[in-house]
Amino acid sequence: MSLLSLNLPSRGLRRVMHRLSAVTLTLFGLLTLTFIIGRVMPIDPVLAVVGPDADSSTYDQVYRQMGFDRSLWVQFGYYLRDLAQGDFGNALLTGRPVVDDILRTFPATIELATVAIIFGIGVGVPMGVYAATQRGRLADHVIRVISLFGYSTPVFWVGMIGLIIFYGWLNWVGGAGRVDLAYDGLVTPVTGMLLIDSALAGDWEVFGSAFKHIILPAFILGLNSVSFIGRMTRSFMLTQLSQEYILTARVKGLPERVVIWRHAFRNILVQLLTIVALAYGSLLEGAVLIETVFAWPGFGQYLTSSLLLGDMNAVMASVLLIGLIFVLLNLLTDVLYQVFDPRTR
């Protein structure tokens, strides 16, 4: 027993070190790939700085100031040095440090994606469970068609149609932006998420306006998550419902509700964690089109504007952040797996 007790912490330490080394290597590979893509893209960052009308001497001077006269690996070394100091450069779009721009815009995207994933879980999970219990029946076919529609319909098209109907025609929701112009700037930013900040400030008029503006883009953004989570939930539930322990529970006379939710559903929770984490990461990444359609001042719109301008400092930092989010979500999923499923320990 003493040898076993001494061995358990060492094994746990080895697992932690293995995860940290894997994350470090992944991030380094992501850094390298991001840097190379930023250098080979058919966009001239020097031209974005000096403008198309600059003469050749000005162009050459800025070219040398930006370090492009050095070899690629020397540039990469300076890039790593600046990153280690937290320096991502200044954005051409705003003239401010890229880190400040991301800290300013990213909370808006987190808020939008969080509301969307709540909608995706709240609708997708019950829909998938119900479809599994109605396998082969009309309800199952209808839900599968709805899931296919939500997964394959272009987000920007649904966004424009939604604005026309629910804002322009019915006036049920707010229009473009995060809040009505009359309420813009009334709440002091604390978290950067307007719903939370207005609730903390007790300004319920701003909260109501922010809710009216976020509900439609979050709903449309979450349609893809509803379809993805619903289909995967259905698949997981069908696997569990075919197991012998479900037949045993039914033979014992347990209510169908107990069999479905307390037995079958509990055994797919660990799998759903991975699905929800991937869906949430996809929402953060895929909010670009929705933020463009709804003029949502978030991270996606910032990335799009930077890419169109050729601002490679902002683009490379944004791509790196997206990759980091997926790495951290996968790491979090692995940890939650071990917390909720003893078999993985």
Top-confidence residue, 230 or 286: 230
Mean pLDDT, the chain, integer: 83
Domain boundaries, the chain: 2-84, 105-344
Single-letter amino acid code for the residue at 276: V
Q: Residue 345: its pLDDT value, please? A: 56
Confidence at 114, pLDDT banded by 50, 70, 90:
very high
Average the pLDDT over 6-21 and give the result.
64
Q: Residue 67: its pLDDT value, please? A: 78
Confidence at 43, pLDDT banded by 50, 70, 90:
confident
Model pLDDT for residues 56-84, shown as the tens digit of each residue: 888 888 888 877 788 888 888 888 888 88
Compute the chain's Rg from CA coordinates.
25
Q: Which long-range contacts (CB under 8 A, 24 or more apart) does 19-26 make?
A: 19/331, 19/334, 23/327, 23/331, 26/327
What global pTM score does this model have?
A: 0.82
Name the CATH topology of 105-344.
MetI-like fold (1.10.3720)
Average the pLDDT over 5-20 and give the result.
62
Confidence at 6, pLDDT banded by 50, 70, 90:
very low
pLDDT at 117 over 80: yes
